[in-house]
Amino acid sequence: MHLKYESQLREPLVMGEKDFHQVTEDIVRPIEAKPSKLWYIGFFIAVALLLFGIYSIYRDVTYGIGQWNLNKTIGWGWDITNFVWWVGIGHAGTLISAILLLFRQGWRTGVNRAAEAMTIFAVMCAGQFPIWHMGRVWMAFFVLPYPNTRGPLWVNFNSPLLWDVFAISTYFTVSLLFWYSGLIPDLATVRDRAFTSLRKKLYGIASFGWTGSTKHWQRHESLSLVLAGLSTPLVLSVHTIVSFDFATSVVPGWHTTIFPPYFVAGAIFSGFAMVQSLMVITRKVFGMEDYITLGHIEAMNKIIVLTGSIVGIAYLTELFMGWYSQNKYEGYTFWYSRANLFSPYGWSYWGMMACNVLSPQIFWFRKMRRNIFVTFFMSIIVNIGMWFERFVIIVTSLYRDYLPSSWSVYYSPTIWEIGFYLGTFGLFFTCFFLFAKYFPVIAVAEIKYVLKTTGEGFKNKMSKIEDQKLDEFIHDNAHAH
Amino acid sequence: MAKKKFVVGCFDDEAVLFPAVKKVRAAGYKIHDVYTPFAVHGLDHAMGLRETSLHTAGFIYGITGTSTALGGISWILVKDWPLNFGGKPNFSLPAWIPVTFELTVLFAAVGMVLTFCYLCQLAPFVRKHHFHPRATDDLFVMAIECTDKTNVDDLQAFLSSNGAIETNVQVAETGWWLGTYDMEEKNLEHSNTVVA
């Protein structure tokens, strides 16, 4: 007899009296029903944004990136800001699915599938920015090392920008494989209850002929565990390498050894905020309140207040080092270009401080952590703050160059820079709407696996055991072995 | 592949399934497979399956990635086309760590997933026999291979007495074939279904 037991002190992760079939019903039903009006409205807004983005990119390719307002001093503006922002958001999914798997955090099962999907879409959006920033995008394959007739001339393996190529593409590939290999058994579940032959055919193709064989499950478990083990250092390495794009340069404000941990914490921070925004809506629209519970939301808010505070410490450390190093240029960047509210970009620094460091402190209060409205509002605030952070790092380090003749405060984005950014929102939400319509947004098999230990109905039955006297318990259970 | 005859028992609780697996094995029957809607931990041991070596394969793929990266970059930057980057040494190992790490992870992950799909014979357009459509929903489906000596009725009764809620006999293809799931179930032959 396997005695599965989890303390009553822990909140149930699946609410209500449910059996395995009920879990399948609850999670697969939204895929089988016709989408609601709300879904169509959201989807068409997303597609409209995407089309605007495509037109902006079309103009970028036709007229060159001269249609952006970058100048000789501020050579990186919205484009790279948005790149780092999206990559950062793309960190939560793998963190939830990999690191929390290794740390045996049961609550990850409710949110991992949607968070992984979100990761993949966010990385797709991030990838657009460096690619279209190249200008001559038809030469994009030059970033790959391949034997060529130009020498052969190879790429520079000592350059952080090349490391980025490897990091982002590896991260995208591994996240995609991790996500899809986890999805195969759930797609098989959808296939086996399909009611039209087209559904049977398409989900049959997508589920690779999965049967649920014990040997296959054994290999599947081994695969997930090793992929989690590989993704854990991978997710840390990706934003570390993104931070190297800045940290290995000699620009004051970028040339900072604190960048890798600071960027990784910021990435997790913004990624979880994005997961919160999406989960709050998804659970409401699809009626998943039993699976994405207040407990899940509270757990994620705890991570938000932790990582937000780590980011806050990093900001303060930078300010301290700006003074302590007694380096004039460092001090100028940190204490004038950024921290001085009345300097040309001071507003962005203090906007960042307010959004990222001060406002998440509200989550020290349990009531606030479990409040859906506060959670949703804060998740938006955090992502605005994290966008400001990247803008601050990139623009305020550049706009006052060493020579005052190269100073520039006249950077503001053109409509096509904004359009490109809006376009990636369109891409992200188009993908997410399609995912939510055609794929199970919650990992069905994983929920079933934890159901008997953390489901409310099963926990209530277990509470009798908790009340039992120890010698009675031994008497009842010891003979079973 | 040849078709075989199976006696199939369906269980709705893994706590009932475990003792049943033990008894069926002790009675000398050969369990072809147990199909479950989720990974039931310990079932592989109960069935006497050996541990998977997939992680060892992953390690080998990872090392291949490491050596590809280190070998490739050193050959490129030291031998094939040495470039002078600010007077730094051509063999600049610390700067190559990020790419080496990424390729290690990439090779290990891609290799493992492909190996997993190969071992489990998973691919788009692959069609297999399914003993019960609810095996991916809420049933634990045990398929026992019949030999010439197997008494089918006895075995079905034996499964029912051990908690199977439904038993039947199926003649099924054990391998895979190309096809999609909307096509007719040609390889499925049900007979004398007993619902307990």
Domain boundaries, chain B: 3-49+124-195, 54-119
Tokens representing A86? 């999206």
Of the pLDDT bands very low, low, confident and very high (cuts 50, 70, 90), residue A9 is: confident
Give the pLDDT mean for A277-285. Answer: 90
Q: What is the pLDDT of residue B187?
A: 42
Can you give A223-276 as a three-state secondary structure string? HHHHHHHHHHHHHHHHHHHHHHHHHCCCCCCCCCCCHHHHHHHHHHHHHHHHHH
Is A195's Cβ below 8 Å from some Cβ in B?
no
Is A179's Cβ below 8 Å from some Cβ in B?
no
CA B95 to chain centre: 40
How far apart are alpha carbons A391 and A381 in whole angstroms?
15
Q: What is the pLDDT of residue B71?
A: 96
Q: What is the pLDDT of residue B195?
A: 55
Candidates A338, A296, A347, A300; CA nearest to A319 is A338
How far apart are alpha carbons B190 and B192 in whole angstroms?
7
Backbone angles phi, psi at A328, to 5 degrees: -60, -45
Angle made by CA atoms B188, B193, B196, in degrees to the nearest 5: 140
Of the pLDDT bands very low, low, confident and very high (cuts 50, 70, 90), residue B188 is: very low
Contact A288, A8 (CB under 8 A): no
Of the pLDDT bands very low, low, confident and very high (cuts 50, 70, 90), residue B186 is: very low
How far apart are alpha carbons A202 and A195 in whole angstroms?
12
3-state secondary structure of B17: helix
Contact B102 A166 (CB under 8 A): yes
Candidates A160, A158, A91, A157; CA nearest to A130 is A160
- B51, B99, B133: residue with CB nearest A166: B99
Contact B167, B32 (CB under 8 A): no
* Shortest Cα–Cα distance, B132 to chain A (Å): 9
Tokens representing A364? 């020290």
Candidates A170, A82, A438, A446; CA nearest to B99 is A170
- B55, B101, B137: residue with CB nearest A21: B137
3-state secondary structure of B167: strand
Q: Is the pLDDT of residue A117 over 70?
A: yes
* Shortest Cα–Cα distance, B133 to chain A (Å): 6
Of A108-112, A114-118, A208-212, the one with minimum mean pLDDT is A108-112
Please report residues of B whose CB lies closer than 8 A to that of A203. 181
CA-CA distances (angstroms) from residue B63 to A176, A233, B56, B67, B69? 22, 16, 11, 6, 10
- A167, A184, A219: residue with CB nearest B54: A219
Q: Is the pLDDT of residue B92 over 70?
A: yes
pLDDT in tens, A72-96: 888 888 999 999 999 999 988 888 8
How far apart are alpha carbons A51 and A422 in whole angstroms?
10
Give the pLDDT mean for A441-464. Answer: 83
Q: Is the pLDDT of residue B88 over 90?
A: no
Contact B127 A209 (CB under 8 A): yes
- A174, A210, A218: residue with CB nearest B106: A174
Between B65 and A19, the higher pLDDT residue: B65
Of the pLDDT bands very low, low, confident and very high (cuts 50, 70, 90), residue A4 is: low
How far apart are alpha carbons B28 and B25 in whole angstroms?
5
Give me the amino acid identity at B194.
Answer: V
Average model confidence (pLDDT) across chain A: 90
How far apart are alpha carbons B141 and A304 in whole angstroms?
43
Contact A214 B40 (CB under 8 A): yes
Q: What is the pLDDT of residue A2?
A: 45
Of the pLDDT bands very low, low, confident and very high (cuts 50, 70, 90), residue A312 is: very high
CATH fold of the domain at B3-49+124-195: Alpha-Beta Plaits (3.30.70)
Q: Is the pLDDT of residue B194 over 80?
A: no
Of A148-152, B88-92, B129-133, B135-139, the one with minimum mean pLDDT is A148-152
Q: What is the pLDDT of residue A479?
A: 61
CA atoms within 13 A on the CB side of A113: 25
CA closest to B13 among chain A residues = A20
Contact A116, A97 (CB under 8 A): yes
Q: Which of B13, B120, B130 to mutate against chain A (most A CBs within 10 Å)?
A: B120
- A24, A211, A223: residue with CB nearest B137: A24
Tokens representing A304? 């938000």
3-state secondary structure of B8: strand
Q: Is the pLDDT of residue B189 over 70?
A: no
CA-CA distances (angstroms) from residue B139 to A23, A41, A446, B15, B36? 13, 39, 15, 12, 7
Q: Is the pLDDT of residue A108 over 90?
A: no
Is A454's Cβ below 8 Å from some Cβ in B?
no
Tokens representing A460? 């209530």
Please report residues of A whose CB lies closer than 8 A to that of B15. 1-2
Is A45's Cβ below 8 Å from some Cβ in B?
no
User: Which positions ≥6 away from A60 have C-beta within 8 Å?
Assistant: A67, A68, A132, A135, A416, A420
Q: What is the pLDDT of residue A428?
A: 95
Q: What is the pLDDT of residue B184?
A: 57
Between A323 and A12, the higher pLDDT residue: A323
Of the pLDDT bands very low, low, confident and very high (cuts 50, 70, 90), residue B193 is: low
Give the DSSP letter of residue B38: S
Q: Is the pLDDT of residue A481 over 70?
A: no
Of A10-14, A309-313, B37-41, B53-57, the one with minimum mean pLDDT is A10-14
Is A234's Cβ below 8 Å from some Cβ in B?
yes
Number of inter-chain CB pairs under 8 A, A vs B:
206
Of the pLDDT bands very low, low, confident and very high (cuts 50, 70, 90), residue B54 is: very high
Looking at chain A, the whole-number percentage of residues with pLDDT higher than 70 is: 98
Q: Which helix (H) or strand (E) holds B195?
A: strand B189-195
Q: What is the pLDDT of residue A30?
A: 87
Count of residues making up chain A: 481
Candidates A304, A309, A279; CA nearest to A383 is A304
Backbone angles phi, psi at B85, to 5 degrees: -95, 95
Contact B182 A1 (CB under 8 A): no
Please report residues of B whose CB lies closer than 8 A to that of A20. 37, 137-138
| H-helix segments, chain B | 14-26, 43-46, 54-74, 93-119, 152-161
Angle made by CA atoms A162, A173, A267, in degrees to the nearest 5: 70
* Shortest Cα–Cα distance, B150 to chain A (Å): 23
pLDDT in tens, A413-427: 999 999 999 999 999
Contact A156 B83 (CB under 8 A): yes
Give the pLDDT mean for A394-412. Answer: 87
Of the pLDDT bands very low, low, confident and very high (cuts 50, 70, 90), residue A260 is: very high
Give the pLDDT mean for A169-197. Answer: 92
How far apart are alpha carbons A152 and A156 in whole angstroms?
13
Can you give chain A as a three-state secondary structure string? CCCCCCCCCCCCCECCCCCHHHHHHHHHHHHHCCCCHHHHHHHHHHHHHHHHHHHHHHHHHHHCHHHCCCCCCCCCCHHHHHHHHHHHHCCHHHHHHHHHHHCCCCCHHHHHHHHHHHHHHHHHHHHHHHHHHCCCHHHHHHHCCCCCCCCCCCCCCCCHHHHHHHHHHHHHHHHHHHHHHHHHHHHHHHHHCCCCHHHHHHHHHHCCCCCCEHHHHHHHHHHHHHHHHHHHHHHHHHHHHHHHHHHCCCCCCCCCCCHHHHHHHHHHHHHHHHHHHHHHHHHHHCCCCCCCCHHHHHHHHHHHHHHHHHHHHHHHHHHHHHHHCCCHHHHHHHHHHHCCCCCCCHHHHHHHHHHHHHHHHHHHCHHHHCCHHHHHHHHHHHHHHHHHHHHHHHHHHHCCCCCHHHCCCCCCCCHHHHHHHHHHHHHHHHHHHHHHHHCCCCCHHHHHHHHHHHEHHHHHHHHHHHHCCHHHHHHHHHHHC
Give the DSSP letter of residue B177: E
Instruction: Identify any residues that bridge with B172 across adjacent strands, giving them in sequence order.
Output: B4
